[in-house]
Amino acid sequence: MKKRNYNLLLGGAITGIMMLLTLMGFFYTPFDPEKMDAANKLSGISLTHIMGCDNFGRDIFSRVLKGCGTTFTVACGTVLIGTVFGTLIGAFTGYFGGIVDEVLMRIMDALFAFPSLLLALVFVSLFGSGKYHVIIALGIAFVPSFSRIVRGEYMRCRDLDYVKSARLSGASHLRIMFVHILPNIFTVLLSSIMIGFNNAVLAEAGLTYLGIGVKPPDASLGEMLSSAQTYLFSAPWYALCTGGTMILMILGFSLMSEGLKKNGGGRYAS
Amino acid sequence: MKKYALTKLIGMFFTINCVAFLVFLSFAVIPGDPALAKLGAQATPERLAAMRAQMGLDRPFWERFFSWLLCAIRGDFGTSYSYGTSVSAIIAEKLPVTLLLTGMSFIIMVTCSIPISIYTAKHEGGRIDRIILIVNQVIMAVPPFFAGILITYLFGLILHWFQPGAYVSFGQDPLKCLVYLLFPAVAIALPKTAMTVKLLRSSLLDEAKKDYVRTAYSKGNRTNGVLYRHVLKNAIIPVITFLGMTLTDMIAGSVIMEQVFSVPGIGRILISSISSRDYPVVEAVIVLMTFIVVTVNLLCDVICRIVDPRIRREV
């Protein structure tokens, strides 16, 4: 009997719920996330405000929903940039090899050695902060790690039998690279996309916490956490609820990636 | 070995210079006039020009870059726009704090993660192993600065073990300083420990399945002997590379943690200089961090070669 993959199941469930809530946040929130209400300033958890209210009396749950949306957009954009460019670079260098591969990989090594948070910090300080700048900065910072993974996979696959037979039947290099090999390395790519997503969530929150990420009109989990820290003593639930949401978001994806690796591992082990 | 050392050193030199050039270039081409920022919008054109000449901004780019680079090699990074003092002095004051913090968290990470991973690998599938794995998974999902906030709340505000925001410098009271830094150090080390445990555990388990381990057992070795003398040595090699990457990550992570615990280190200077557009400081900090990162990577490479003779023979 096949053992149940609890990692994948649990991760999928958590991610599913978080996705639903995030989607809901785009269209509907129980209160207006920007509406201030002096009477409810820093009020605790109650039935009407299930996560309490912040220092302006705004409903934290509504703001968390909105913040999830922002965080989600930034993370998706980052991963999209990282994956597209990383896959392109990794595919060409891994498939063809040679001098271009050597040079590009040395550059990637240098970039990879540099902490991505620091890289993003420099980018943001150059081009200014704001949602879209953060996406571009983090996206560029994520390219090296993706390209490295994809390159390794292409190097492993380029001389396998199915690639050889495709080549014999006259398929062009581009077709082999993206129609034949790409679907075969999809599991590996998917699991690194999920890890990348988590790193993007963490990096965005970190940048915003430092005050150089997403700007205030967009509610973001990092921005909320940094203002929650000021009220840690009088309103601990503010930080706990916001941080807890972030943990769930990351946990879901990391469990899923674990599960995928376990599933994929069986296939590649032989 | 000589050839190896030479190529590595040249590569290091090249990387640092590349980063220095890119950083200098990017701050030179972005819009925004540091002289204007310093004097304010009401400054007269004459005073602006005088200020630019004083800051050396009127010279051509290449001249500025090479004179800066030559000075930087000698340890002189120019004068800070906003503090008015020499950048090297500012860094010399802040760097020890960051290095102390990073060093502490690295020691915490290594001393915690190695015993835990050996224990879990030894008792694979046991109850404690499974609990640790679950805890690990959750810890890895906690954003580092949120861990910092939680630690501030628990130990600072509820248990009163330290006073958040009241940093004592090492010169004033070494013991108090170390106690204060212990909390941010733990916050930095927590997620990294979880990752190391995960990696070292699976590396140990992979090694333990190999033939030489069976041979060692069949020769009559006891479990502990095989584990420490044979398996651990081989399993630690991928972990060394990972630890090097983690160390550089920790230096970057300390930027955030210094903000959370208001520790006056290099990270706080970096953030405040970025927002006040104090480019000499930003340039110096980034070049310095690159230097540290490159050096750590080189050290890891060397350690790997010492531990594993196989890598030595390959090159």
Pairwise CB contact (< 8 Å): A229 & B245: no
Question: Which residue out of A6, A68, A121, A199 would a mutagenesis test of the B interface target, given it has the greatest number of B Cβ atoms within 10 Å?
Answer: A121
Q: What is the pLDDT of residues A167-203, one digit of tens each?
A: 888 888 888 888 888 888 887 888 888 888 888 888 8
Closest C-alpha among B237, B228, B231, B238 to residue B212 = B231
Q: What CATH architecture applies to the domain A6-20+51-265?
A: Orthogonal Bundle (1.10)
Closest CA relative to residue B177, chosen from B166, B191, B187, B186? B166
Report the 10 Å Cβ neighbour count for A190. Answer: 15
Q: Are residues B106 and B224 in the same domain?
A: yes
Yes or no, beta carbons of B256 and A117 under 8 Å apart: yes
H-helix or E-strand spanning residue B283:
helix B279-307
Amino acid letter at B120?
T
Contact A115 B249 (CB under 8 A): yes
Residues of chain A contacting B149 with CB distance shorter than 8 Å: 225, 228-229, 232, 239, 243
Please answer whether residues B75 and B88 qualify as being in contact, where contact means their C-beta atoms are separated by less than 8 angstroms.
Answer: yes
Nearest to A248 by CA among A9, A19, A3, A6: A19
Residue B12, both tokens: 């290091």
Query: Residues with Cβ < 8 Å from A180, sequence gap 6 or more?
Result: A162, A163, A166, A171
Contacts of A145 (CB under 8 A, 6+ apart): A82, A86, A112, A116, A192, A196
H or E element at residue B15: helix B2-29
Q: Residue A59's beta-bridge partner residues?
A: A53
B61 shares a domain with B97: no
Asked if B69 and B95 sit in the same domain, the reply is no
- Number of structural domains found in chain B: 2
Q: Are residues B124 and B271 in the same domain?
A: yes
Let me know: does B92 contact B176? Beta carbons within 8 Å: no
Looking at the structure, do residues B101 and B53 belong to the same domain, yes or no? Answer: no
* Residue tagged 């890119």 (tokens): B22
Q: Is residue B179 part of a domain?
A: yes
Cβ neighbours of residue B62 under 8 Å, at least 6 residues apart?
none
Task: Among B23, B152, B248, select the one facing A113 at the smallest CB separation.
Answer: B248
Q: Is residue B14 domain-shared with residue B123, that is, in the same domain?
A: no
Predicted local confidence at residue A84, as pLDDT:
92
Distance CA A267, CA A25 (A): 39
**Long-range CB pairs of A128-133, under 8 A, 24+ apart, other chains included:** A129/A207, A129/A212, A129/A213, A129/A214, A129/A215, A130/A214, A130/A215, A131/A70, A131/A73, A131/A74, A131/A214, A131/A215, A131/A218, A132/A77
B113 and B169 in a single domain? The answer is yes
Q: Within 10 A of A86 (CB to CB), how many other CB atoms are there?
A: 27
C-alpha B98/C-alpha B102 separation (Å) is 6
Residue B272 forms part of a structural domain = yes
Tell me what pLDDT residue B53 has.
74
Please tell me the predicted confidence (pLDDT) of residue A269: 38
Rounded to 10 degrees, the C-alpha dihedral A253/B190/A243/A11 comes to 20
> Is A118 in contact with B253 (Cβ distance < 8 A)?
no
Q: Are residues B148 and B274 in the same domain?
A: yes
Give a yes or no: residue B79 inside a domain: no
Are B286 and A122 a contacting pair, CB within 8 Å?
A: yes
HEC profile for A168-212?
HCCCCHHHHHHHHHHHHCHHHHHHHHHHHHHHHHHHHHHHHHCCC
For the cut 60, the answer to whether the pLDDT of residue A268 exceeds it is no
Residue B56 lies in a domain: yes
A 199-258 near B (Cβ less than 8 A) = 201-202, 205-206, 209-212, 225, 228-229, 232-233, 236, 239, 243, 246-248, 250-251, 254-255, 258
Place of tokens 């020499």: B86
- Find the mean pLDDT for residues A105-129: 72
This prediction has a pTM of 0.79
Q: Name the one residue in this structure whose structure tokens are 């004097």.
A: B39
Q: Which parts of chain B sit beneath pLDDT 70? A: 1, 30-41, 56, 311-315
Asked if residue B78 belongs to a domain, the reply is no
How confident is the prediction for chain A on average, in pLDDT? 79
B248/A247 touch (CB, cutoff 8 Å), yes or no: no
Confidence of residue A217 (pLDDT cuts 50, 70, 90): low
Tokens 């910072």 map to which residue? A141
Q: Which of B296, B119, B148 is nearest to B223 (CA)?
A: B119
Q: Are residues B202 and B304 located together in one domain of the fold?
A: yes
pLDDT at A54 over 80: no
Q: Which domain holds residue B7?
A: 2-73
What CA–CA distance (Å, rounded) separates A153 from A148? 9
Task: Among B18, B40, B73, identify where a domain stops.
Answer: B73
* CB-CB under 8 Å, A113 with B256: no
With an 8 Å Cβ cutoff, is A118 touching chain B? yes
Is the CA virtual torsion A125, A128, A129, A134 positive or negative?
negative
Q: Can you tell me whether residue B44 is helix, strand or coil?
A: coil
The pLDDT tens digits for B176-229 are: 888 888 888 888 888 888 888 888 888 888 888 888 888 888 887 777 777 777
**Does some domain include residue B132?**
yes
Question: What per-residue confidence (pLDDT) applies to A266?
Answer: 46
pLDDT at A270: 32
A58: left (phi over 0), alpha (psi -120 to 50) or beta: beta
pLDDT of residue A1: 42
In a domain, B110, yes or no: yes
CB-CB: which of A117, A125, A205 is closest to B274?
A: A125
In chain B, what are the helix, strand and coil shares in percent, each to the nearest 5? 80, 0, 20
Domains in chain A: boundaries:
6-20+51-265
Shared-domain flag, residues B123 and B239:
yes
Q: Closest chain A residue to B26 measured between Cα atoms?
A: A126
pLDDT band at A80 (very low <50, low <70, confident <90, very high): very high
Final residue before a domain boundary, out of B45, B73, B101:
B73
> Hey, are the CB atoms on B286 and A117 less than 8 Å from each other?
no
> How long, in residues, is chain B?
315
Task: Identify the pLDDT of residue B124.
Answer: 80
Q: Which residue of B has its CA nearest to A129?
A: B275
Q: Is residue B226 part of a domain?
A: yes
> Which of A6, A106, A118, A126 is the best residue to mutate to test the B interface, defined by the most B CB atoms within 10 Å of its own CB?
A118
| DSSP for B59-75, written as a single string | S-HHHHHHHHHHHHHTT
Taking the CA atoms of residue A92, residue A95, residue A100 and residue A105 in that order, the dihedral angle to the nearest 10 degrees is: 80
Overall average pLDDT of the A141-168 stretch:
85
Provide the chain A residues 97-116 that lie in CB contact (below 8 A) with chain B.
110, 113-115
Phi and psi (nearest 5°) for B30?
A: -70, 150
Distance CA B106, CA A157 (A): 38
Examine the fold and report which residue of B43, B73, B103 is the final residue of a domain before the chain moves on.
B73
B202 and B282 inside one domain: yes
**Whether residue B97 sits in one domain with residue B55:** no
Please write the tens of the pLDDT for every residue from B64-89.
778 777 777 777 777 777 777 888 88
